[in-house]
Every structure is written in structure tokens, then in C-alpha cells.
Amino acid sequence: MKRVLAVLLSGAIAAAALAAPAGHDAVNPLVKLARLYAGHRFFELRDAVVGMADNRQTDMEFFRGAVAVAFNRLGPAVAALRDYLADTGNLPPGGLTREAWALLAEAYRRQGRYRDAAEAYQAILQRLGAELSPVSKAQYEDQYSLWSALADVPPQTVDLGSGALIRMTNRHFPARIGGREFFAGTDTGSNISVLYESLAADLGIPLLGGDIKAQTVTGKAIVGRAGLVRELRIGPIVIRNVVVLVLPDSLFPATRSRLGVDRRALLGTPVLEAFKELTETREGDLIIPAEPTRRSGENMCFVGSMPVVEVVHRGARLSLCLDTGSPLTYLYPPFFRRYRGEIQVRSRPRVSLLHGVGNKRSVDVRILDHFNFETDGVSVAMDRIPVQTEVTNTDSRHFFGTLGTDVLRQCRRMTFNFESMCFILE
């Protein structure tokens, strides 16, 4: 739902990789890796990197690091990216250098090493600032300011105890800060947890740094402040040192009438990932085990903090964002372009209203009667899925769609396992 604005793949490497003739892949296999990276095709990138295990070219360390960040192997990711930057330190900076620093910052942030993340963004500004566009430079400056403000914050920790089975009301559950109880929801589409401004003020939550911009599903930006929750409780589970984005209540109108509960917070991916595994059932249970189940099949990765699942549709590998903050599944322009002829024959254009936090926009869509896919050996058939024909945000530019919680109409439960990087539908 909300993503603190992050800088995307540098235009130089994207343009070079995507413009290279296909024949270059055989001559220089690193061109293929750059093409997959530029296209956000991380599952294929992982497979290609595994197949080049014996390749000792310097740039391979970058791609190994990028894959390790995507599949949540943060220790190896940091080691590979630092090795790459050390080996290329005396060379003229290029597109991969900027990407390496940005990926290193992401790995540090997910490890709770906020000072190191800030220093990585600072390195981009100091070493590559002259090459940055005004927009990119401003985004990197925002990231540096945010993580600098959090430099002295300890890493987030979670005490799962014996685990928890929590009964939800309309996908929301009670949470506590201090002696105050309120309702919260989950939002894997948000790379930071959210606390409403009125609750933050009542609880005396300290605010850190200046304004923060976050992009909503509509592509528009909203502004909040970073805050620090020293202790958050959900049933028997205790989460400490939770970084939150404090947003005005006015961005969430009529919450009680729409949801049936007085929601005051959303748990973003950093908190949910720390649970290591969570399951949501059609009946409304949230299950967080004391220990994650070891699984194989690694069909989920991170792009930034957004979990992305690989599905198979008519034999084609498609990457879909996983957003528990979205009640609906959407397909995006890359899907429309791939199946344009069939979609145009089977549907008529219409306008849909896309709702984001604090704003909404009209979007041109087609309605697909049926969308079938398979993941982890499970086949799913969904009906009347909107296909956006125009780009609305960065995700809709790079991925084939977003899988929302309406998938639970077809399945009994969905599980996120961040330890084994698996998404399971049952």
C-alpha cells in the first residue's frame, strides 16, 4: 500500500542492458544477467547466477549480491557487495557501482544497521552525485536523511514465545503499545509500518528526522514522519524497536465504518518478515508459529521490501507482487502488453477508481473473465480480474500484477515463509 520512496535501477544500466542485441548474451553472459536485473526478473536471475557458479569475473560478485539480497540471504549479500565495491574501487564509477551501494543500503536496513545504510546512501551522493539526475539525487538525499535520523536506533527484535493464533475481525487484530489497545492490520505492500498520528501523539511516540515521502498504490506521494515504538505487543508476541511512519488520521477516513473496527496501525513488511512465518486463513485466523517450517521451492523474493511471488500462467513465468493491504488482485500493463490481442477481444475498456492512502485516481482497465495460475504445485482460478492498461506506480511498470487477499476466496489459507522464501496457498 505504501512504500517509502526508494531509488530505482539506474537508467544507464537499464538502457544498456535492454538495448543490447540478444546475440550479445552468448558472447558475454554478463549482458544476460544485466538484462534480467534491469527487468526485475529475479527468479530467472537467480537461476542464471547458479548456472555460472564457476565464473570469476568481477561483476559476478555484484549479481551474486543482488540475488542474495532478493532472496533474503543478507550476510552473503553484504559480503558479496562489499567485495565487488572493494574490487572496483579504483575504476571509474558506473551503473553497477550505484546499484551495489543501493543494494548494500537495503541489506543493511533489513539487518537493522541503519547507520550503515545511511553511510551507503552517503557514498552514492559523494561518489556519484555529479552523475545523478535532480530527481534521483533528491531521492537519495531523502533516504540518507531518513536512515541518518535512525542511526542510533537499535535493531528491531521479536520474541515469539510459543507462537500465537489470533482471531481477526475483518482481517484486523488487537495490538498494544503500553497500556493502550487498538486494532492493526497487515500490509506486505508497505516497506514500513504505519501508526496513526493521533495514537502516536497520545502515546508520546518520539518522532525522528524530517518529513518522509511515501508512494501509494496510485503513484501519488503522501508525507509523514518517522517514529520509534519501543515495544509493541500482539497477543503473546513482543516486538521491540519498531520503526514506524506516522501519518495523519485524515488519510484514513471512516475507518470504523469501512472496516468494522477502529484501526490505528498497519504492520509493514519489516515486522511481518521478523515473524519468519505467518499464515492467514479464510476463516479469519492469523497464525504465527514459534518456529518456521523448513520448506523447499523458494518461489518468493524481495524487491526492496515488497515480497514477490513467481507463478506460472500458460507455461510462462510471471512475477506478482504480494500485497496483504490490497483486497483485490490486479494485473498490470506488462501482462496487458503480453496478451493484448486476446484481452482486447475478450473485454471492453472501462474506467476503474483506484484507491490509495489519502488519494484516489481513475485508471483505464480491462476486465479479464478468468485468470488461472499455478504456484508451488497449487492451481488457482480467479474470475473478473482488472487488467490495468496504464502505469500507475513503479510496481505496475515492472511486474505482471499484484496478488491481493481476494485469493483467499479460492484457497483456505496463505502462508508467507520468510525463512525459506516460500509463498504457499492451500
Residue 21 carries which DSSP code? -
Residue 269 sits in a domain whose CATH number is 2.40.70.10
- The percentage of residues in the chain with a pLDDT greater than 70, rounded to a whole number, is 89
CA-CA distances (angstroms) from residue 31 to 28, 37, 48, 96, 102?
6, 10, 11, 12, 20
Q: Where are the alpha helices (DSSP H) in 1-57?
A: 11-19, 24-27, 29-38, 42-50
Domain that holds residue 377: 300-425
Residue 256 has pLDDT above 80, yes or no: no
Choose the final residue of a domain: 288, 313, 348: 288
DSSP string for residues in 310-333: EEEETTEEEEEEE-TT-SS-EE-H
Please state the length of the chain: 426
pLDDT at 29: 84
* 7: confidence class by pLDDT, cuts 50, 70, 90: very low
Residue 10 has pLDDT above 70, yes or no: no
What dihedral do alpha carbons 132, 133, 134, 139 form, nearest 10°? Answer: -70
- The percentage of residues in the chain with a pLDDT greater than 90, rounded to a whole number, is 71
Choose the final residue of a domain: 149, 175, 193: 149
88-92, 247-251, 311-315: which range is least confident on average?
A: 88-92
Residue 355 has pLDDT above 90, yes or no: no
299-351 residue pLDDT tens: 999 999 899 999 999 999 999 999 998 999 999 999 999 999 999 998 888 88
Residue 337, in any domain of the structure = yes
Instruction: Please state, as a whole number, how many other Cβ atoms lie within 10 Å of the Cβ of residue 27.
Output: 10
Residue 129 has pLDDT above 90, yes or no: no
Residues 56 and 130 in one domain: yes
284 Cβ partners below 8 Å, 6+ apart?
Answer: 167, 168, 169, 170, 171
Q: pTM of whole model > 0.75? A: yes
Residue 360 has pLDDT above 90, yes or no: no
Residue 294, in any domain of the structure = no
Residue 76, in any domain of the structure = yes
In the block, cell 539480497 appears at: 69
164-199 residue pLDDT tens: 999 999 899 999 999 899 999 999 988 899 999 999
DSSP string for residues in 140-168: HHHHHHHHHHTTTPPPPEEE-TT-EEEE-
Residues 117 and 163 in one domain: no
> Between 238 and 1, whose confidence is greater?
238
Give me the half-sphere count of Cα atoms (radius 13 Å) on the Cβ side of residue 262: 5
> Please, are residues 423 and 309 in contact by the beta-carbon 8 Å criterion?
yes
Residue 121 carries which DSSP code? H
